[in-house]
Amino acid sequence: MASDSRQKDDLKYLRETIELAKASRKGGNHPFGAILVGPDDEVLLQSGNTFKKDKGVGHAEANVARAASRLFEAEFLESCTLYTSVEPCCMCAGTCYWAGIGTVVYCMTEKRLAALTGDNPENLTLDLSCQQVFEAGQRKVKTRGPYAELEEEVAEGHRDFW
């Protein structure tokens, strides 16, 4: 179980991802947001979804992980945490894994997202948790989530979108 201090930090950064998701939606993109936080609690990178430009591969988590892999060494990224409004899909989990990011924290599960998006062709979720993706790898990636206290706020950003 996360310490009270860690949980407080997680909630703070997760709320920032929710704000990024809102801005992403307002900009005509899908409602997702992600940030990368360094070992000294500094926000290093952030991104919303970029569907308008990148179509199906413009996921917020993948955008952050790709940028992080260009800017930082894997040894440093192992001490970083990627926060995201929704559990990373298998593509995003794989991108985080290959970038070398050490921890992933999310608000809402991919399964809950699937219930909200249904069979919308712009978000055909895969029934594969990020933990399953990470467990299949040779490098350990820690995860924390979901955070039930933020789930409805995230879900609200998806209602009437899909």
Q: Please identify every residue annotated as catalytic.
A: 61
Q: Which positions ≥6 away from 20 have C-beta within 8 Å?
A: 32, 33, 34, 35, 46, 47, 48, 60, 85
Whole-angstrom Cα distance, residue 51 to residue 55?
Answer: 4
User: Residue 80 and residue 103: Cα distance in Å, rounded?
Assistant: 6
Beta strands 43-48 and 33-37 are: antiparallel
DSSP-assigned states of every residue in 118-131? TT-TT----S--HH
> Distances in Å between the alpha carbon of 109 and those of 74, 116, 128, 142?
26, 11, 10, 16
